[in-house]
Amino acid sequence: MSSVQIINNIDAMSPKTYKCVLVGDGGVGKSVYCTQLIHSKFVTKYIATLGVEVQILNVNARGNMIRFNIWDTAGQEKFGGLRDGYYVQADCAIVFFDLSSRVTFRNASQWLNDVKKYTNNIVLVGNKKDMKDINERKVTMEDVLKLTQGNIPYYEISCKTNESLTGPIDKLCEMLNVYQAQAQSTQDQSAQAAQAQSWGEYLYSFIG
């Protein structure tokens, strides 16, 4: 079960912000994923993203207000000239492929190699899990395991049915130490409270 909740706005003046790049072949569902996740709107017609579009995703991650600047591009080679600038300063990435397309899966390997030069916080996503005919599926779990070697988190999602859409974001929060930072903060507060109590008892011993 996901630990993140998508929210419209963040009240905090300066929420922790991360740059997240979406990569993968054109037509695998990157833009649809972004639109569905942020605006809860499924787009059936594929329209290639021209250049780069940045959308803001605000999430409540176990009480942590986080903002992701989601960078989205069409992933086509003719836009290859902007790839370095696209990746620079990326805090995390989601690499997409289409479960019904072997070509997009094979190309996912190259996308992974590209993005690894800039960040290690990567999640692999297989889209179109909602396929009704099992024969339409062209990528098996065995294929995925060979690619990831168990070192890259993997999610199968459906932008059409909303299945597991927040899973990749939840995992990225974990990889970015959002939850660890929260746990450390709680521990620090507890330690400070215990120290204050001990100090108070120490002073009381003299007053009393």
In the chain, beta strands by DSSP E: 4-7, 16-23, 52-61, 64-73, 92-98, 122-127, 154-156
CATH class of 4-176: alpha beta
pLDDT tier at 10, thresholds 50, 70, 90 = low
- In terms of Cβ atoms closer than 10 Å to its own Cβ (0-12, 13-18, 19+), residue 170 is buried
For 139-176, write each residue's pLDDT tens digit.
999 999 999 999 999 999 998 888 999 999 999 999 99
Instruction: Give me the sign of the Cα torsion angle 12, 68, 34, 153.
Output: negative
97 falls in which pLDDT band (50, 70, 90)? very high
- Tell me the range of 6-15, 62-71, 95-104 where mean pLDDT is highest: 95-104
SS3 140: coil
* Domains of the chain by residue range: 4-176
